[in-house]
Each structure stands twice: as C-alpha cells, then as structure tokens.
Structure 1
C-alpha cells in the first residue's frame, strides 16, 4: 500500500496504558527507557549508545536496514530489496532466480526509486499543530492541521532534496514531533541471493518458525556518484547468537492499534479486517492464475503475489487475536481500568468529557463510509504501477497549482522529492499485470458498492471492468519514462491536454475520489482525531509520559532476548541451522534449495546457526531491522515474525510474540561459501577462521 495512504486508514495506534512487559514497546529514540532496559537485559546502554544506533539505522521506504561499513553499505532483507532485484531483471536475465552477485563495487546497480533515510533530529511541534485545529470541526479541522504540518515541514527542509522533514503524530494527537532525515536518493544493489534462498518454504513457511531462510541483501548509498561516507555504522559480529542473549532491534515499524477503544476494535473485527481478507483472497487467486499461464507471467507477478500473500496471512493472524478470549479480556480490562482512573479525577473527567462515547458514535460513520473510501482511495488501482504513476501525475499537477498550505499533504513541498523520485524512476512496466490488477479493483468496486451507486457509474462509464482495464493498461504510454517526465515537468497544462487514456481516466474520476476522501476526513478522521487528542491528554494525566506511543513508520527501538517459546504443549527452540535446512529440503517447490546454496552444501558447516527467534516487539515495517547486541554490534536482521505475533497490532503478548532474525553467522557463511562475495567480506572485516 502506498505510504501516503497509510494515514488514511485512520485507526491510529496507541500504546497500552498499563505497565508493559519487559520486552514490550516500540520506543522512540527520544523517550527510550534506558534504566528499564538495562535492568531487564543486564546491559549498560547509555545515550551515546542510543545515538550511535540511531545514526547507523536506515529507513528504506516502508522497511529498515543498518549501516555496516564506513562506505555506505547497508544490510537489509532480500524481500526488502526484491522490488529492486525485480526491476533490474528481465525474463532473459533474471536476478530473482539467479541472485545478484557483482564481482566488485563498480558493478553495483542503482535501485529505481529506492530512497534511504537516516534520522538526524527529533523536535517537538505539538503546540503549533494543536493550536491550528483549536475550535474547528470536520473538514476545517483536518485542513487547518494539514496546512500547519505542511508549513512546518517546508520551513524545516525547504527545497533541500538531501533532507526529508516529516511531522509525526504520536499518542493519537497527544504529541506531534518533527522528524528530520538525511536523505539518499542514489541507492545501489550490492548483493542479493536467489529469491528461493530467502523465501525457502514459500507461503507455507511464511510467518512461522522454525524458519530456514537466508533473507538478507546488501544495498549501498551513494553521494555525488561515490559511496557515501558513513563513519557511524554497526560493527559486523559473525558469531552466532546464544540462547538468552540480549538483543535490540532498531527499525521503522509501520502501524499498531493498541489503544483502539473496544467500540473501534469491534469495527475492525466486523468490517475492516473481513473486507481486507475478502479482497486479498480474490486478488491472490487472480495473481496465481495469471502467473500459472507462463514463466514470464510468473516472473512479472512475483512481487505483487508475495505482497498480497503477506497481507492475507497477516490479516489471518490478526483475526485469530480477535477471537482469543483471554487476549481480548486483557484489552477490555485495560480500558476499564483507564476509565475508572479518569472518573476518579473529577477535574480531569470534566476537562476531557466522554471521548469513548464520541468514538462510539463515529463508528456508525465508519461502517457507512469505509468501504467506498477503502476502494476509491486506499486500494484505488488495485496495486497497478501504471495507475499509481497516473495518479501522481494528475493529483501532483493539480495540487502544485495551489499554495503549499492548501494542498493534499502528500504533495506538500517537503514531500514532493519523494513523489518525484518514485514517479521518475526507470522501472519496467508490465501492462498484462496491470490489466489483472485494474480489472480486479474495478470488479470489486462494482460488486461491493453495487451497480447503481453513482460513484461506480462515474468510474466505469459504459464499459465493463474487464474492458476498461484492458483499454487503460494496454493503451497508456506511461510506461515510457520520457513521457512521464514530460507530463510532470509540463504541469497541469500538459496533463490536462494529454490524450493518454489512463491520464484522461484519472482526470475523470477526481471528483468522485476527492469527494469520497473529503467526506471521510470530515465525518471520520476529524472527530476521531479530536477524541483521540482528549484520550491522550487523559492518558498523560493518569499514567505520565513514560509510555511508548503507537508505531507510525518512524524509527523505533525494541528490546528482548533470543529465545523460543511453548504454545499448546509444543516447545519451539530458539534457533535453526543449515543442517535443518538440508533436512527440510525435499527438492519439490516450495522446499527446493536455491541452486547456489545446494552447490555449497558440503562447504557450509551444517551446525551454522541460520535463523533465530527473539522476544522483541515488532510488526510490519520492521523487516530489515538491524539486530544489535549489548555492545552495539550487529548480529542479524529481522525478517519475519509468527502468525501468532500478528496480534501485535492490538497488543504485545510475551507468551507467543516472537520476531524471526537471520543471523550474521548465516549471512557470512553464505557470502563466503555459496556466493563468493569476498570483497564484501573484506569490507565487513570478517576474517576467515
């Protein structure tokens, strides 16, 4: 899902207002509980340690990575780099199947559209943002806040494309922080194994443990066509993690929903999750059918299918949490305790009123408006790359005509470099795949909103979903980078004059999509944010400000230990080895070994620790997060969690919550024995033993 739409999901995440378990919390770097972490882990973390970890941590789009050399080298996951690998591949030269193993740094290739960001500063802008919306309601409230946020971001970063400034809401509007990043738009692929190595076991093993995956890749940031100087970086430790060893993960988790009221959570259970699961299951089927038609189709649909399968399995795990009686009773008890504490303070109760009742009232509007908003804004285009380009061209042209403070937030001056980098990246287009995605989206739009909905008629016109999708996907010229560039640089005049069918289509549906968005913002987002601000004020009054906030796609630090767990009488050990990989391999997909790993079977020590489980608190977006030991050395990279851990959206459960990490020991062995990446090992200063 495009990052600019994540905000529109609106059910913002909030930390549970009760005492956290030792490992619980996705902590901001300006509010990390140093004494509590040291007490739980028996470590000696201090502020200097935190600063080094922050400056060595990298945000890569909606995922994470860690600097591991002084020359811009970043460790992340193969599945994080997979879009780059796919974009650099062709059916004739398929790096997805063969891996990308350059013989030297000079052969590293630029990842189209990939941006790396390092957090340099956090500052508080709460008073400015809250003052902008004071006394306003509905759309006026939303627009006033958006305008002030755009002003703050523009003032902080201006037109400097080497920086990114982002105002982040925390504690559901209780705080607003300005996050400033050093931005690198030249990111090059330095190594990726075969996709089969990182995704061994396929969808069957996904979100599970034991795992046997070498889900690791390296990218490098460049500046002025030279590797960027990165003196602050993690030292590579190739030793295998030990059971019980402290571990900290520094990454950018996407979103949690840990203090949805019980009324809000019922809406998630009754409407939001079922709709997402229904749609994802059908799209998954269509993509599987498309990929089965030919090897070329399987190649071009791989990334899209993987994304949908992840979303579906993540949703399944969350649904399991919503029917777990004990888990839900703990949530209900936490809310009841919070309400009792507020009621016990008459002055506080008078100050905030009854935000729980306000949020309960909003749920009727969510149920009425969410399906159309979800289909016309959040999932518009069905994931089609061509549609996404057209939307940025049309809305970008329209919004740039307005003063910065009056634009949609995603097209403010401070955010335009992100839009432009993505739009003008030299990526391949596959109209046959776009046709599948567009036809799915249009058919679901008609089915769920119904044939007689005027918005459906405005979108489809006189055409069927299939005919319209075919015409748009195969007749547009947006796959041509030069054509996209001419429209972007030509602005509204060029876009309005274009006869490209996809551009004409986006121009035609703007009234429908924009009005749907405006109504949702006015009737759902604004009152939800107003009530959320009151709850945050009460939370600070009752529990203080030492709680962790919701995950928001910004840099966080979480801590725990390397450890397995026991569930329903079954004990799962903390680690897997290459011996387990060889044993699990059957030769038949998805349990077939990657060719280069198979060829190195006699060279890789069978006892080498491959993957480990950790009690750290993570969620989607944490992929690629550097796993760091107490000395600040990197010992692995987070790449997954378990199905049971998907309840992490709503609350941390220490009994079953586990992150899954690929170890530096496994990566080192693979680089040395399977892929002959000696120049990377030398850069990592790994001495062969």
Structure 2
C-alpha cells in the first residue's frame, strides 16, 4: 500500500474529437496504431514503413533503459542512475519536500550537488528484465470453478507464480499481467529501486505554462520535465544500460518510438461493457469529480498555504476530469459508437460462420450482457464502499491498510487475500514508516466528501451508511476522525501495523475505528462483486479474446495494462477543418504567448533569461505515436535508440484514445531534449547535469 495510493494525482491521458476516429483495436492494427508488448513488436512492419533497422538488440536496449514509476513512465539517461521523466510525475515529491517557508513547487528544485538530492517518499523505479508466458497455469487454476471460488483460485495461483519468480528479494518485483482481456497471461519481472531521489524540477509555471486551458492542446510551450536518480545502498545506482541524450531537435518526418507504461485502454471491451461505462460509470465519475474540484478550489482560495498544498491535488483532479469527460463524449458520438458496434457485429458473424469455432467459443457476448445487469446493481455501493473508500484521504488509506494487515495476518497464509503474503506485509509495514507531509485540512475535505456522497447515493437508511455514520453528520465525523487520529505520526502507525484486531480496537483511534467499520461491509461487497461480475467477466472475456485470435490472427496489440509497451510513429502535424497545425513550437513562442496573467504568465527565470536563450530552439513537438495515460514521462526515442524528448500529453483530437486510434488526428505531445538542454544551460545554469548528460 503506497502512502499516496488514494491521492488524486494522475498522469497524462489523451483527449480529442471522436467524430473523426476511424480505427479501433479489435482488428489488425493500421497506420501507427498500437501499444505493443516488447515480445510481440512488429519489427518488420516498422522497418518496411520507415526504412529503419531496428532489431532484437535494439529492443533489448530500450527495454533495459525504460523505467516504470508510480503511475508514470521514465528512462535512465546516464550510467549513474539519472532518470528523465515529466515534471507532473515528480510534482508530488516536490510538494512533499516543500514547506510554507520553502515552496519548491513554485520556485523549482535545483540542488547544486548530488548530496543535496532528497528522497521522494513512496517512489520506486522499476526496470523490466524478464517476460515469461504463464497463460496455461493461470487458465488451469480456475478450471471447474465458478464465482468467488474461481477468483480466489486464480488469485492464489497468480500469487504463487509471483512468489516463485521473485521470492522475498526486496530488489525484485514480480507481476502476473493479463493481456487481451484474459486471452493471455505473462509474468513480468522487474529490477526495483526503492530509494529514488529528486535531482531537478523547474518551477511549476514553467512546467505547466498555459494551465488547464492548454492541457491536452497544441501548440504548447511547457517544460514538463524533471530528473530523478535511483540510489542503491546509499549511492547512485550503476545503470550502464541507458539512453544516450541527443540534444538535437527532431525534424518533421523523423521516426519516433515511445517506450512507456500506458495505464488503461478499453479498446477490446464488448458493446455491453462500453454501454455501462457510458451510462453509469463515467457520468458518476464526472459528477463527483466536478463537485470535489469545486470544494478544493474553494479551499485553495482561503489563503497562501491552502493554495500551496492544494496545487498538486487540483492539477491531478482537473487532469482526470478532462479525461473522463473526453471518454464519455467519445461513447456518446453516434459515428464512433456505430463503428464499434459494426466491428463487434463483424466478429460475431465470422465466429458464427465457422461451426467448429462457434461451438468452441459459444456466446460470450450475451453472457457479458447478463453480467452488466448485475454490475449495474452493485456498481454504486461497490464504488462508494470499496474502490473509492476514503475519497482520496491518505490517512484513511493508511488506516484501511492497517486494518487489512490485522484482519489478513490472523488467517492462514493460504486463506489470505492476494497481496497479503508475509513478504508483502513486511513491505507494507516498511512503507508505512516513510515520512510524508499530510495536510489535515485536505484530509478532512476528502473524508467528509466521501461520507456525504456515500450517504447521498446509498441513502440514509442503508445499513452500511448507518454503520459508518451512527448519529453523526458526515462533516462532523470527518472532523472528529481527522482531528483525533494519530496516524500522521510515523512511529504510531508503524506500531499499529503490527497490532491485532483486538489491539487496534483498544487504541480508540477514531480513523482506525471508521476503517474497521467499513472493512467487513466492503469485504462482503468485494466477494459479491467477484462472484457476480469478476468471475463471469473473466470467463467470457477469455473466449472473446480467443475469437479475435481465431479470426484476425496474432498480429494484435493488447489493451493497455500499465505494463511496458512500445509505440512507433513520426514527427508530424495535422490538419482539421481547414486549419493546419505544425509539428513543432519554439521557445520564442513562449514569450509571444505570455500575457503576464495566470495561467499564461511565464516563469520568472524564463523572463530573466530571455536575452540568453536561443528562441529558435524547438520546445515541444507532436508525433503520430499511439499513447494514453501512464505514458507520462515516457522517453521519445529516435531510430538510433537515443532519447529526443519526454512525452507529456496528447492533443485534443485524441479524445477517444481509450477506445480507438485515428492516425490522421491523434498526436503525442513531447517536450524536446533540445529545449531541456537549452533550459539547463541558459535558464537554470545546471552544468553538473549537462556534463552527466554528455552535453558540451
């Protein structure tokens, strides 16, 4: 359990106008479409189209230099653990290192020496080292079982595979990942670094120039870049496999590759699943997200300190809100929705035309329609009491984690929920010992919002609501629980993590008591969801995947699952409704766009350096690469395997990126290494970083 597992910080996700989306992922990929796994990358297709000479050695080099952060992507760019990513991927760390006296979010983090680099609480850096197919083992684990028993068996086998792969080695992470919605499974083994320190971050205004109005748009003028460093045994990690820094900007037409960890796409969902997303899940997220944003904005206006501590949460929530809105608009577009329907109809008809295949596959689409009916009934309580419990409160997340440790530790290992092995419990306890600044004002907002929405949606007479609130109002309970808890004290929560249920109850901590009340209700809902939704969905989705393989072959990329992928494309602008958008912007455009008023006020250091910088330097550029949220910080790589930028956004026409890709309009937005180099040299005077990057 990460201490910031419930914070409202999210990374890049793509948005745009879906009426023009023509390609989706249920048929063989077209154009530059696809977030491909490294063990199934279409090498020959790319080499033929772009005249490149990439091979397995090239792929292995890129894979070994790509880094997965918490919710973001990155890459090693030196042999001494230096990591390039986006500023918005490190801003929560910058916030944690800040105080009212030293606001590094506002002023930037620019240590003069490595000794001044500070650890980012809870951050890890992982490098994929091995991929092993485990499909047969996972599929066999649920044979003959139904409902919750099926989910439990699958979970136990998955946990066993992970334990066999990594054991209790703290330097390794093993994860069994589902691909093609259950069509295949693979064990991904990672080399993990859990001492990750902040090396450099520009001012927030330089990184997010243009603010929310420019977010998911282009032209852009944002220095959305930051540097971390992996440490091992207190020293910079030795990372001989890194991407060489290329300080030259790419030209239009140059081939580009993006290596990163796209979070989640839904291109392989069936129509009944998409319909429930459109009609229930996304509207609820939009309604609640909008109201929470209003509460956070109101709080941020109460004073300088309130504004400082709420910058990151507001940024993350506004980013998420645009994503949810874009996804919902995509599914409301008749042309796009009709295209998805036509593709599903084609697949089903081709299965039906092959009697042997039809007998083997059955009718999983109708089965999934039945599942959606059950999911609609359970979705709201499941969301309020399980997936969104605590409403984003870090302290509630800690309390809930501690209660979970006590509950699961009391069971035999074989009967515990996945993720509660002895080794996992030890790792969680260690994470609880990390110092993380916590704003109790924000905590009270999150908790009170969650309790009030839970009462509103489940009603006052709901048994779970009565159990949570008793005779208190949501606001009063939130105030009492946050004010009265001692979980913001590291020693206290580490001690609590080792206690039994009885000992926790005796503590009388109001937040632990609240988490305890919700734990059993949420556990019962989780079991019901497994039985009525997860298990039958997994069974049916596997057969839909097999149908795709049978009809279209293996030349398919899977939906994104926050696992390492590689996309290919080229630097290219686009035209829309008579307007042509160029592929690049320059630093000079920043000064022309600046108005002096938020959010178009240029950072002071850029204003001070105006006479020194080369205004012709390419600042941001766009390419046809297919990416999605989670790709934030991904290295953009040229054909020689050199890093030429860090992807940080998508253009406005990528609105339906979760559900389809349009090579004519969808674009990845990247901050160039040329601009980062120019800023390090002439804006921030960082000779030590330039030397490490090999820049003269």
TM-score, L = length of structure 2: 0.95
Q: 2:307 is matched with which residue? A: 298
Q: 1:268 is matched with which residue? A: 277
**CA drift at 1:378:** 1.5
- 1:101/1:335 CA distance change after superposition, 3 Å: same
Could you tell me which of 343, 361, 367 is aligned with 2:352?
Answer: 343
Q: 1:310 is matched with which residue? A: 319
Could you tell me which of 133, 140, 145 is aligned with 1:136?
Answer: 145
SS at match of 1:119: strand
SS at match of 1:623: coil
Cα RMSD for the two superposed structures: 1.7
Hey, what's the Cα distance between the residues in 2 that align with 1:138 and 1:131?
15
**Greater CA deviation, 451-460 or 402-411?**
402-411
Could you tell me which of 37, 40, 52 is aligned with 2:46?
Answer: 37
SS at match of 2:689: helix
- 1:37/1:483 CA distance change after superposition, 3 Å: same
Q: Check the 8 A contact 2:68/2:261 in 1, yes or no.
A: yes
Alignment of structure 1 residues 621-660 onto 2, 5 Å: 621-660=630-669
Q: 2:506 is matched with which residue? A: 497
Write out per-residue CA displacement over residues 166-219 of structure 1, whole angstroms, 9 at most, x where no aligned residue. Answer: 000111111110000001000000000011111111111111111110000000
Q: 2:16 is matched with which residue? A: none
Q: Which runs of 5+ in 2 are unaligned?
A: 8-22
**CA drift at 1:494:** 4.4
Could you tell me which of 458, 463, 466 is aligned with 1:457?
Answer: 466
Hey, what's the Cα distance between the residues in 2 that align with 1:570 and 1:502?
55
Could you tell me which of 429, 440, 446 is aligned with 2:455?
Answer: 446
- Residue 614 of structure 1 pairs with residue 629 of structure 2: no
Write out per-residue CA displacement over residues 329-367 of structure 1, whole angstroms, 9 at most, x where no aligned residue. Answer: 221221111111111111110112100000011111111
Write out per-residue CA displacement over residues 392-449 of structure 1, whole angstroms, 9 at most, x where no aligned residue. Answer: 1111222233344432223345654663454332101111110011111111111111
Could you tell me which of 589, 610, 634 is aligned with 1:580?
Answer: 589
Q: Which runs of 5+ in 1 are unaligned?
A: 7-13
- 1:86/1:4 CA distance change after superposition, 3 Å: closer
Write out per-residue CA displacement over residues 251-287 of structure 1, whole angstroms, 9 at most, x where no aligned residue. Answer: 0111100021111111111111101000100000000
Hey, what's the Cα distance between the residues in 1 that align with 2:51 and 2:349?
36
Hey, what's the Cα distance between the residues in 2 that align with 1:80 and 1:527?
36
Write out per-residue CA displacement over residues 118-162 of structure 1, whole angstroms, 9 at most, x where no aligned residue. Answer: 000000111111111111111111111011111111111111111
- 1:548/1:654 CA distance change after superposition, 3 Å: same
SS at match of 1:426: coil
- Residue 127 of structure 1 pairs with residue 166 of structure 2: no
Could you tell me which of 478, 484, 487 is aligned with 2:496?
Answer: 487
- 1:155/1:21 CA distance change after superposition, 3 Å: same
Q: Check the 8 A contact 1:213/1:662 in 2, yes or no.
A: yes
SS at match of 1:164: strand
Could you tell me which of 336, 339, 357 is aligned with 1:330?
Answer: 339
SS at match of 2:390: helix
Hey, what's the Cα distance between the residues in 2 that align with 1:15 and 1:163?
35
Write out per-residue CA displacement over residues 521-551 of structure 1, whole angstroms, 9 at most, x where no aligned residue. Answer: 1111111111001111222222222211111
- 1:227/1:357 CA distance change after superposition, 3 Å: same
Q: 1:76 is matched with which residue? A: 85
Alignment of structure 1 residues 460-539 onto 2, 5 Å: 460-490=469-499, 492=501, 494-539=503-548
- Residue 239 of structure 1 pairs with residue 248 of structure 2: yes
Could you tell me which of 409, 420, 428 is aligned with 1:419?
Answer: 428
- Residue 373 of structure 1 pairs with residue 382 of structure 2: yes
Hey, what's the Cα distance between the residues in 1 that align with 2:428 and 2:544?
34
SS at match of 1:121: strand
- 1:173/1:488 CA distance change after superposition, 3 Å: same
Q: Check the 8 A contact 2:429/2:494 in 1, yes or no.
A: no
Q: Check the 8 A contact 1:424/1:485 in 2, yes or no.
A: yes
Hey, what's the Cα distance between the residues in 1 that align with 2:660 and 2:515?
39
Hey, what's the Cα distance between the residues in 2 that align with 1:275 and 1:250?
33
**Greater CA deviation, 371-380 or 209-218?**
371-380
SS at match of 2:173: strand
Could you tell me which of 274, 277, 287 is aligned with 2:296?
Answer: 287
Alignment of structure 1 residues 39-118 onto 2, 5 Å: 39-118=48-127
Q: 1:181 is matched with which residue? A: 190
Alignment of structure 1 residues 142-291 onto 2, 5 Å: 142-291=151-300
Q: Check the 8 A contact 2:181/2:268 in 1, yes or no.
A: no
SS at match of 2:454: helix
Hey, what's the Cα distance between the residues in 2 that align with 1:453 and 1:131?
40
TM-score, L = length of structure 1: 0.96
**CA drift at 1:492:** 4.7
**CA drift at 1:515:** 1.1
SS at match of 2:391: helix
Q: 2:19 is matched with which residue? A: none
Hey, what's the Cα distance between the residues in 1 that align with 2:271 and 2:401?
37
Q: 1:9 is matched with which residue? A: none
SS at match of 2:657: helix
- 1:527/1:304 CA distance change after superposition, 3 Å: same
Write out per-residue CA displacement over residues 594-625 of structure 1, whole angstroms, 9 at most, x where no aligned residue. Answer: 11112111111111111111111111100000
Hey, what's the Cα distance between the residues in 2 that align with 1:519 and 1:644?
39
Q: Check the 8 A contact 1:77/1:639 in 2, yes or no.
A: yes
Q: Check the 8 A contact 1:612/1:660 in 2, yes or no.
A: yes
Q: 2:694 is matched with which residue? A: 685
SS at match of 2:191: strand
Write out per-residue CA displacement over residues 485-534 of structure 1, whole angstroms, 9 at most, x where no aligned residue. Answer: 11224455643432211111111221111111111111111111110011
Q: Check the 8 A contact 1:165/1:414 in 2, yes or no.
A: no
**Greater CA deviation, 162-171 or 330-339?**
330-339
- 1:369/1:231 CA distance change after superposition, 3 Å: same
Q: 1:23 is matched with which residue? A: 32
Q: Check the 8 A contact 2:28/2:552 in 1, yes or no.
A: no
**CA drift at 1:92:** 0.8
Q: Check the 8 A contact 1:358/1:531 in 2, yes or no.
A: yes
Hey, what's the Cα distance between the residues in 1 that align with 2:380 and 2:576?
36
- 1:477/1:285 CA distance change after superposition, 3 Å: same
Hey, what's the Cα distance between the residues in 2 that align with 1:116 and 1:285?
34
**CA drift at 1:467:** 0.4
Hey, what's the Cα distance between the residues in 2 that align with 1:225 and 1:482?
23
